[in-house]
Amino acid sequence: MARIDISFNGNQALIPRAEELARELNLPLAITGESNSDFQLVITSERLELRDVRNPRLSPVCVDFTSLDLRPYSNNLSRRQPLARAIGKKTRTVVDATAGYGQDALLLALMGFHVTAIERSPVVAALSRDGLQRFIKHTGINLSGRLQRVMGDSRSLLPALVPRPDAIYLDPMFPPKRRKSAAVKKEMQLLRDLVGDDADAVELLDICCAIAGDRVVVKRPDDAPPLVPEPSMSLTGKLVRYDIYLAQHWADA
């Protein structure tokens, strides 16, 4: 497991916030700025940052949604894009069971779906919350009733959901490419380093298919095999593919 601690950027006024976050996440607080950890969550006056202590030359990572194109018919929010089409025309409620930094959950909520975003890493959930709070402050958009964030393991939380969601969305960690590419975003590489691979993704898919009212949608690289063979259908985007497992087909298999 990666070692993580909490710090701040030297502004003494930030100490109470750093102490509060350390208590919330049950992580050590590095008041002096020195760290023996692999990563640091650093509170600045503008945002929450994840820093790789092992490689200080890497720029810090934060979650920033303020650059999203929010025009009603933009590629981000169009119901004609592959993600929205995969989720389905008749879908109203969606659970993002592997929310990560939360961008897909936010986009789905902005499209009009009612989304519950579940993330099991407390550190990733804290980064996502910070980015969402800054997005709401920047745009003034009210997401109340459209986006609910939950911290926990979807394998144990999903069976307790009442009513069942129409669709469940899974974006498990992509399998690593044989050759490292500069196109791999640093935030995704840090995410992999922080939380590891989703070795239980197939187990989670099985749980999701037993719970989803209509379908489970799995995001995959366009060149990777399906998480489980023979999805009911697939939709391909520019770099990714959405494999759709209809709950009825899964039950009949």
Which part of the chain has CATH 3.40.50.150?
82-252
- Give the H/E segment covering residue 17: helix 15-25
By the 10 Å C-beta count (0-12 exposed, 13-18 middle, 19+ buried), 101 is classed as: buried
Nearest to 198 by CA among 223, 165, 166, 176: 176
- Of the candidates 68, 147, 64, 69, the one whose C-alpha atom is nearest the C-alpha of residue 109 is 147
Output the pLDDT for position 78. Answer: 87
Kindly give, in sequence order, each residue whose CB lies less than 8 Å from that of residue 149, ignoring residues fewer than 6 positions away: 99, 102, 117, 119, 125, 128, 129, 132
d(CA 110, CA 170): 18
In tens, the pLDDT along 21-63 reads 999 999 999 876 567 888 999 999 999 999 988 888 888 999 9
Q: How far apart are CA 189 and CA 171, in angstroms?
A: 15
CA 43 from chain center: how many Å?
20
pLDDT score for 92: 97
Spell out the alpha helix ranges (H) of 77-224. Answer: 82-87, 103-110, 122-139, 154-157, 186-195, 201-211
pLDDT at 72 over 70: yes
Written as six digits, the tokens of 23 are 């208590």
Res. 223: pLDDT tops 70 = yes
Is residue 181 scored above 60 in pLDDT?
no
Query: Tens of pLDDT along 183-221?
Result: 446 666 777 777 767 688 999 999 999 999 999 999 999
Q: pTM here?
A: 0.91
Greatest distance between any 2 Cα atoms in the chain: 61
The CATH code belonging to domain 82-252 is: 3.40.50.150
